[in-house]
């Protein structure tokens, strides 16, 4: 049982995970405070609201751990929050991340690759509590035409890549080296057999 | 027509079920690889996608039994009728461009084409039947995925137009009748519990609507980070918990406030049989009283299937269909009250 981090009185019924600069932080707040911060509890994973809050970055940032800053951190990488100068354009549908945040719908399936980091954060913020933030996010079925073993391989490699990047950022080179050799072994095993289905 | 109740005949969509779980629904979101989502403003792929999917469905075993309707060619009234019967979503009804619905002969299994995603498979079953509804949807999905290239990424799962559906693309929901929890104001606690279980609560017509007739729709929030079986099992457990809660609230009311309870039921019966004007909200509240009365054995003067038919026909598009013409809201309230008086043996004038 957690106590609300904003009012420090009521029991917290809303739990968010905020990964910022590779530090995982749990945010626990009560319903009343969530409402006051403009967070509609009935639609906790409502995308426009997540994005809307993210757009108001910097405003609610007085208290560390208040909802808007926590969500902004979950949705936008730190560099993007300071400067949104570089915005990749999807070659298939012409969408940019900015356009997605305006329309709240993506343009085509390739956007999941194009907007990798931003989308990954957005989706990670909606994962159920016990799911791994490093992925793979999908743990369900595979289409009939996709080889399940190949899909599993790609899943594992992407998770390893993600953890490797974290290790490098945290300058934990010992862990990084370990992850790298694991990744190389997998890639070697998969060569010739697997094409990235993404 | 997709909604083909003959006048004077029993309504095929009306059920005899008076339980707390009115219906369960399973929905899978799927898209074709390498094509723009239907939500892309240029919409150039839509017609081709619709004909591709239609062709493939025709080659499935039993695929020619699906009835197809192009929603862009249907009248607004017909579209609203399909929405009121939960056969299509409001988004599909109110969208634009080439889009369609396909439904099996029983109208329980269907597909929406070019809603927010290229393909949305859905199964609607009376009562609590999540596992069966999923099994039927899953079978159709497997058949389709042998013949169509779905947009799928091993890391993210099935790719969808809105990232809140990515992963399994699976949304399961149940329509619950919770009058005792609403009357005892315990519904707020239930709301909180549901949100803690990472599920969403909505009113009768889905997103953002009020809970008319003490009917609540609950659905899962997370579509990824969990597999299909866990999503369904968790929903099953959540529904079971809410049902137990409602049952306890009913038992408490029956024990301590039986007179008030009976008064509410008989007042509703009186209003339905005699009122001259009645809007949808009031109608659904009274019908909810009778439904609870039937379920608790406090009231027996109406057949469950007739009650269910009146729930359907008290909604605007159904009512206008019955009257055979468009009605202004004020005239609708009069027509609705007349329908109840006639159906429930109240006086005619
Ligand atoms: Zn608080
Ligand atoms: Zn794109």
Output the DSSP codes for B187-203: HHHHHHHHHHTTEEEEB
Q: Is the pLDDT of residue B208 over 60?
A: no
Place of tokens 């009031």: B282
Determine the pLDDT at residue A107.
95
User: Contact at 8 Å (CB) between B21 and B128?
Assistant: yes
CA dihedral sign, ordered B152, B154, B158, B159: negative
Nearest partner of B218 among B177, B179, B257, judged by Cα: B177
Q: Based on C-alpha coordinates, what's the Rg of chain B?
A: 21
Q: Based on C-alpha coordinates, what's the Rg of chain A?
A: 19
Q: Which of B60, B156, B191, B198 is most worth mutating to test chain A (most A CB atoms within 10 A of its CB)?
A: B156
Angle between helices A173-190 and A148-169 (to 10 degrees): 160
Nearest partner of A115 among A133, A101, A97, A135, judged by Cα: A97
Spatial CB neighbours of B85, under 8 Å, sequence gap ≥ 6: B3, B13, B107, B312, B318
Determine the pLDDT at residue A51.
45
How far, in Å, are A8, A12, A68, A176, B243 from residue A33 at the CA level?
10, 9, 12, 40, 29
Determine the pLDDT at residue A67.
34
Q: A98 exposed, middle or buried (CB, 10 Å; 0-12, 13-18, 19+)?
A: exposed
- B201-208 contacts, C-beta under 8 A, 24 or more apart: B201/A42, B202/A42, B204/B175, B204/B284, B205/B83, B205/B90, B206/B89, B206/B90, B207/A43
Nearest partner of A152 among A124, A190, A107, judged by Cα: A190
Determine the pLDDT at residue A49.
44
pLDDT digits (tens, 9 = 90+) for B66-80: 999 999 999 999 999
Closest residue in B to A197 (Cα) is B153
CB < 8 Å to A93, chain B: 36-37, 40
User: Contact at 8 Å (CB) between A65 and A27?
Assistant: yes
* Strands lying side by side in the sheet with B100-103: B67-70, B100-103, B109-113, B119-126, B21-30, B170-177, B215-220, B199-202
Q: Is the pLDDT of residue B144 over 70?
A: yes
| Centroid of ligand 2 to alpha carbon of A93 (angstroms) | 4
Residue A166 tokens read as: 């974290």
Q: Which CATH class is domain B12-248?
A: alpha beta
pLDDT band at A82 (very low <50, low <70, confident <90, very high): very low
Q: Is the pLDDT of residue A144 over 50?
A: yes
Name which of A46, A47, A154 is nearest B154 (Cβ-Cβ).
A154
Which ligand is nearest the CA of A7, by number? Answer: 1
Peptide bond just before A136 cis, omega within 30 deg: yes
Per-residue 3-state assignment (H helix, E strand, C coil) for chain A:
CCECCCCCCCECCEEEEEEECCEEEEEEECHHHHHHCCCCHHHCCCHHHHHHHHHCCCCCCCCCCCHHHHHHHHHCCHHHHHCCCCCCECCCCCCEHHHHHHHCCCCCCCHHHHCHHHHHHHHHCCCCCCCCCCCCCCCCCCCCCCCHHHHHHHHHHHHHHHHHHHHHHCCCHHHHHHHHHHHHHHHHHHCCCCCCCC
Nearest partner of A48 among A97, A95, A108, A101, judged by Cα: A101
CA distance A8 to chain B (A): 19
| Centroid of ligand 1 to alpha carbon of A3 (angstroms) | 8
Closest residue in A to B227 (Cα) is A140
Q: Report how far residue B97's alpha carbon sits from residue B95's, in angstroms, rounded to the nearest whole number.
A: 7
Which ligand is nearest the CA of B42, by number? Answer: 2
| Centroid of ligand 2 to alpha carbon of A96 (angstroms) | 8
Determine the pLDDT at residue B209.
55
CA distance A112 to chain B (A): 8
pLDDT digits (tens, 9 = 90+) for B14-49: 666 789 999 999 999 999 999 999 999 888 889 999
Residue B315 tokens read as: 């909604």
pLDDT higher for B263 or B201?
A: B263
Which ligand is nearest the CA of B31, by number? Answer: 2
Residue B40 to residue A131, Cβ atoms within 8 A: no
Residue A131, chain B, CB below 8 Å: the answer is yes
pLDDT band at A54 (very low <50, low <70, confident <90, very high): very low
Q: Helix H segments across chain B?
A: 46-59, 76-84, 90-94, 130-147, 179-183, 187-196, 228-256, 258-274, 280-295, 304-313, 316-323, 329-343
| Centroid of ligand 2 to alpha carbon of A101 (angstroms) | 14
Closest residue in A to B157 (Cα) is A138
Determine the pLDDT at residue B194.
85
Place of tokens 């009248």: B75
pLDDT higher for A141 or B211?
A: A141
Nearest partner of B122 among B140, B96, B97, B105, judged by Cα: B140
Determine the pLDDT at residue A153.
81
Residue B37 to residue A108, Cβ atoms within 8 A: yes
| Centroid of ligand 1 to alpha carbon of B225 (angstroms) | 28
| Centroid of ligand 2 to alpha carbon of A44 (angstroms) | 26
Nearest partner of B172 among A140, A144, A195, A76, judged by Cα: A140
Q: What is the mean pLDDT of residues A159-177?
A: 85
Closest residue in A to B43 (Cα) is A107
* Number of Cβ pairs < 8 A linking chain A and chain B: 160
Any bridge partners for residue A26, and if so which? A17
Q: Is the pLDDT of residue B175 over 50?
A: yes
Q: What is the mean pLDDT of residues B123-147?
A: 96
Q: Report how far residue B146's alpha carbon sits from residue A145's, in angstroms, rounded to the nearest whole number.
A: 6
Residues within 8 A of B (CB atoms), A 22-51 only: 31, 41-47
pLDDT digits (tens, 9 = 90+) for B297-320: 999 999 999 999 999 998 999 999
Q: What is the mean pLDDT of residues A92-101?
A: 91
Q: Report how far residue B341's alpha carbon sits from residue B347's, in angstroms, rounded to the nearest whole number.
A: 6
Q: Report how far residue A194's alpha carbon sits from residue B55's, in angstroms, rounded to the nearest whole number.
A: 31
Residue A143 to residue B228, Cβ atoms within 8 A: no
């Amino acid at each position: 049982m957690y106590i609300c981090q904003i009012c420090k009185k009521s029991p917290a019924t809303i739990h968010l995970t905020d990964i910022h600069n590779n530090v995982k932080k749990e945010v626990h707040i009560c319903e009343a405070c969530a409402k006051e911060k403009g967070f509609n509890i009935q639609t906790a994973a409502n995308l426009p609201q997540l994005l809307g809050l993210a757009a108001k970055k910097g405003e609610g940032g007085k208290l560390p751990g208040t909802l808007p800053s926590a969500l902004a951190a979950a949705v936008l990488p730190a560099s993007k929050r300071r400067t949104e100068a570089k915005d990749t354009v999807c070659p298939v549908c012409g969408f940019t991340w900015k356009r997605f945040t305006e329309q709240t719908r993506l343009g085509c399936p390739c956007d999941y690759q194009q907007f990798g980091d931003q989308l990954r954060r957005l989706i990670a913020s909606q994962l159920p509590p016990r799911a791994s933030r490093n992925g793979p996010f999908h743990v369900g079925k595979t289409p009939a035409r996709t080889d399940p073993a190949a899909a599993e391989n790609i899943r594992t490699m992407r998770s390893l890549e993600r953890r490797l990047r974290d290790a490098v950022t945290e300058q934990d080179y010992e862990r990084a080296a370990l992850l790298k050799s694991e990744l190389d072994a997998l890639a070697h095993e998969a060569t010739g057999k697997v094409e990235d289905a993404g | 027509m997709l909604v083909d109740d003959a006048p004077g005949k029993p309504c095929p969509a009306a059920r005899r079920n008076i339980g707390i779980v009115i219906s369960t629904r399973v929905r899978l979101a799927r898209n074709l690889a390498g094509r723009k989502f239907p939500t892309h403003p240029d919409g150039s792929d839509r017609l081709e996608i619709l004909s591709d999917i239609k062709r493939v469905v025709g080659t499935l075993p039993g695929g020619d039994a699906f009835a197809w309707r192009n929603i862009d060619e249907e009248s607004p009234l017909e579209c609203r009728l399909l929405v009121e019967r939960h056969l299509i979503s409001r988004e599909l009804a109110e969208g634009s461009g080439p889009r369609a619905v396909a439904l099996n002969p029983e109208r329980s299994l269907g597909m929406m084409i070019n809603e927010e995603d290229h393909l949305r498979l859905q199964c609607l079953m009376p009562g609590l039947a999540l596992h069966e509804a999923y099994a039927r949807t899953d079978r159709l999905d497997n058949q389709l995925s042998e013949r169509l290239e779905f947009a799928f990424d091993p890391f993210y799962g099935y790719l969808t137009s809105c990232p809140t559906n990515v992963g399994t693309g699976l949304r399961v929901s149940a329509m619950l009748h919770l009058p005792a929890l609403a009357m005892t104001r315990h519904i707020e606690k239930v709301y909180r519990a549901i949100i803690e279980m990472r599920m969403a609560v909505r009113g009768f017509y889905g997103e953002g609507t009020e809970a008319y007739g003490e009917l609540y729709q609950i659905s899962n929030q997370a579509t990824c980070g969990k597999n299909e079986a866990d999503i369904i099992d968790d929903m099953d457990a959540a529904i079971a918990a809410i049902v137990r809660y409602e049952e306890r609230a009913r038992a408490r009311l029956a024990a301590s406030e039986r007179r008030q309870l009976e008064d509410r039921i008989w007042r509703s019966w009186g209003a339905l049989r005699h009122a001259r004007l009645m809007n949808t909200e009031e109608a659904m509240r009274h019908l909810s009283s009778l439904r609870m009365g039937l379920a608790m054995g406090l009231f027996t003067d109406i057949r469950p299937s007739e009650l269910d038919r009146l729930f359907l026909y008290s909604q605007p598009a159904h009512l206008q269909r019955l009257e055979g013409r468009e009605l202004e809201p004020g005239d609708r309230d009069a027509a609705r009250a007349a329908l109840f008086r006639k159906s429930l043996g109240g006086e005619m004038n």
